[in-house]
Amino acid sequence: MRTALSPDAAAARVPDGAAVMIGGFMGVGSPHRVIAALVARGARDLTVIANDTARPGVGIGRLISAGCVRRVVASHIGTNPETQKLMLAGALEVELVPQGTLAERIRAGGAGLGGVLTATGIGTAAGEGRQIVQVAGVDYLVEPALRADIALVAARSADYAGNLVYSLTARNFNPLMAMAADVVVAEANEIVPLGVLAPDVIHTPGVLIDHLVERPQLV
């Protein structure tokens, strides 16, 4: 059984300087209450690994606006002008990774692999200075696996064993990230008793989840 933490208590488990995977796609499927708590406590020097930085004031964009982030590893930043300005000013380090490659690097981290081989980026600026190996006469870039100190994921439903169910495309990077971090915190819209979630609908098993975030207060 998992004891549910408040958003503030969950944010307190993210130390300054940590590498943090955060689920979501343009804020959809992101743990918004934990993100708000990180902003409120003034988190600093985070390395955020995510699909994107959403928009100003939305999802991970709130962390960017508040100056919580030192480095971003993401597939794009095109929807957040604040991220772009900080990068161009040298105030934020940004590593852009093709989306499929990003997903595979996270998956590799969760599977205990050292990395993946991909032809994406060969012959472009993205491949400059990178290790290349040849397999069956074809060149591939070596992309190292990604892991994090902590993953913050969001789900539609959880039970008190930590089993998670996501909603449609809000699943996105969440299941992969739940496998690729030393500590995993899950924020769900609802937490239901054991047995309510049928085994064959569970997307992320509770064995991967270290902490749940308490249900949002209904007003």
Per-residue pLDDT of 8-45, as tens digits, reads: 999 999 999 999 999 999 999 999 999 999 999 999 99
135: exposed, middle or buried (C-beta count within 10 Å: 0-12, 13-18, 19+)?
exposed
For residue 142, pLDDT over 60 is answered with yes
Domains of the chain, first to last: 4-113+145-213 (3.40.1080.10)
What DSSP line would sit under 53-101, residue for residue? --STTSTHHHHHHTT-EEEEEESB-TT-HHHHHHHHTTSSEEEE--HHH
Per-residue pLDDT of 44-71, as tens digits, reads: 999 999 999 999 999 999 999 999 999 9
Residue 8, token pair as written in the block: 């503030």
Unique residue bearing structure tokens 């059984």: 1
Residue count (the chain)? 219
Parallel, antiparallel or unpaired: strands 148-159 and 138-144: unpaired
pLDDT for residue 218: 60
pTM above 0.85?
Answer: yes
Unique residue bearing structure tokens 């939305």: 58
For residue 219, pLDDT over 70 is answered with no
